[in-house]
Structure 1
Amino acid sequence: MHMSSQPSPVLGHLASNVRRLRQESGLSQLALAERAGISRRTVIALEAGEANIGLASLDHVADALGTNFTDLVKAPSTPQTEIDEILWRGQSADSSATLLGSAPASTEAQLWVWRLAPGDRYDAEPDPGGWHEIVLVTAGRVRIERRDGTVDLTAGQRAIYPSDQPYSYVAPGDQPAEFARIVTS
């Protein structure tokens, strides 16, 4: 999630959810790490609320625990339609990604609002096979660099693509970029 070093409620939710789900599944920390394709040290950090993990890796952890990304990061009492949690911060304080909610799809659908400061970028790990993204730029310019090509978008333009490939969001130029992102599986 690459959160700031300041305490974060979402890290607390993540820590307790991972620990609870791992224990309910009868998995050791090592077994969870192996299933999710991450290190045991990362599992320990997740359960301690000291995570520094990519968003796609959290998808793998959720899958290994038999749950979905949203249930892994939200407070247990929060409805899926009202999450409103900042899950990524960029190098600039003006860059962030906020998960607004989730709706059922074959597995899950997520709605995000992203803001990138000029020159900032987010480099994503590939999502699991079958995941797709819909990006709608609401302000500024966004460059999406993907293995299958790069696209530059301005306000009102969109891109739809499979996200099971490396991709990056970049805010080129000297203006902030804002976009809505829907992720489906």
Structure 2
Amino acid sequence: MPDPDLITQALGRNIKRLRTERSHTLDALAARSGVSRGMIVQIEQARTNPSVGTVVRLADALGVSIARLLDYDETSTVRIVPGEEAVQLWSGPSGGRGVLLNGIEAPGPLELWEWTVLPGEGHTSDPHPVGTVEIVRVDEGALTLTLDGREHVVPAGSTASYEAGYAHGYRNDGEVPLRLTLVVSVPPPPR
């Protein structure tokens, strides 16, 4: 895993660069993302380590993948992310984790995630922009997927796809670790 300071600095630098490229003021980005102006300033100055939800809201508002916000090496046209450099963005109280493996802009953000959710753990997500879709493949265990208040059990070896413009969450109600691979596709922002 890369140095957390390197990630914090890349996040701040990339948010400021993308905000400037899109001609967004701090106030405009705050309004689009729902993240306070003060928090954006702290992030851009690499003085804070924001929550996953904050990073997601900023990525959505800027119309880019989380991977692009966290990218600290944009010098190659082929982006290879060694396993040890994948970025862990979620950790559960029992040791579960959500790791962003890679992401691209195609034509909107497209992200590939690896999740381990230990028994009793769960993660909830605010709705993504309308038109966002997710595909999840359960590699081990069973996923309890909550979408817009309804629960769906996805067993090992199965995949599920759904619109993620609704509140949703991933939970492990079983007795063994849940391991899943997740693809998130966000539509490009309106210009």
TM-score by length of 2: 0.80
Q: Give the Cα–Cα distance (whole angstroms) in 2 for the partners of residues 99 and 22 of structure 1.
A: 22
Report deviation, 1:8: 4.7
* Cα distance change, pair 43–105 in 1 and its aligned pair in 2 (3 A): same
Please name the residue that 1:122 is paired with.
123
- Does 2:67 correspond to 1:70? yes
2:13 equivalent in structure 1: 16
- Cα separation, 1, equivalents of 2:74 and 2:38: 28
Aligned 8 A contact 2:19 2:29 in 1: yes
CA–CA separation in structure 1 for the residues paired with 2:176 and 2:87: 24
Q: Which amino acid in the other structure matches residue 58 of structure 1?
A: V
Instruction: Quickly say closer, same or farther: Cα 1:26–1:104, change in 2 above 3 A.
Output: closer
1:98–1:132 distance in 2 versus 1, CA, 3 Å: same
Please report how far the alpha carbon of residue 152 of structure 1 lies from its aligned counterpart in structure 2 after TM superposition. 1.0
Considering only aligned residues, what root-mean-square deviation do their CA atoms show, in Å?
2.4
Letter in 1 for 2:99: T
Cα 1:65–1:163 change in 2 (3 A) is closer
* Partner Cα separation in structure 2 for residue 106 and residue 26 of structure 1: 20
* Partner SS, residue 176 of structure 2: coil
Once the two structures are aligned, what percentage of the paired residues are identical?
A: 28
Q: Name 2:153's counterpart in structure 1.
A: 152
Alignment of 1:21-40 (within 5 A): 21-40=18-37
Amino acid at match of 2:35: I
Q: Say whether the 8 Å CA contact 1:54–1:125 is kept in structure 2.
A: no
Give the secondary-structure state (helix, strand or coil) at the position aligned to 2:129: coil
Counterpart of 1:69, as a letter, is: I
> Is the alpha carbon distance of 1:114 and 1:81 closer, same or farther for their aligned partners in structure 2, counting shifts above 3 Å?
farther
Aligned to 2:88: 86
* CA-CA distance at 1:105 after TM superposition: 3.1
Per-residue deviation, 1:75: 1.2
Q: Note if 1:182 corresponds to 2:183.
A: yes
CA 1:64–1:159 in structure 2 vs 1: closer, same or farther (change >3 Å)? closer
Question: Match for residue 52 of structure 1?
Answer: 50
In the aligned structure 2, how far is the partner of 1:137 from the partner of 1:90?
A: 18
Cα distance in 1 for residues equivalent to 2:101 and 2:79: 7
Give the secondary structure class of the aligned counterpart of 1:82.
coil
Q: Look up the equivalent residue of 2:43 and give its one-letter code.
A: L
Where structure 2 has 5 or more consecutive residues not aligned to the other structure, the ranges are: 187-191
Letter in 2 for 1:161: Y
Partner-residue secondary structure (3-state), 2:93: coil
Give the whole-Å Cα distance in 2 for the aligned partners of 1:10 and 1:133: 25
Matched residues in 2 for 1:129 and 1:78: separation? Answer: 32
Aligned amino acid, residue 130 of structure 2: G
Q: Which amino acid aligns with 2:51?
A: I
Q: Write the distance in 1 (CA, Å) between the matches of 2:178 and 2:67.
A: 25
User: Alpha-carbon deviation of 1:128?
Assistant: 0.5
Counterpart position of 1:42: 39
In the alignment, the residues of structure 2 paired with residue 106 and residue 20 of structure 1 have an alpha-carbon distance, to the nearest angstrom, of 19
Tell me, yes or no, if the aligned pair for 2:109 and 2:185 is still in contact at 8 Å: yes
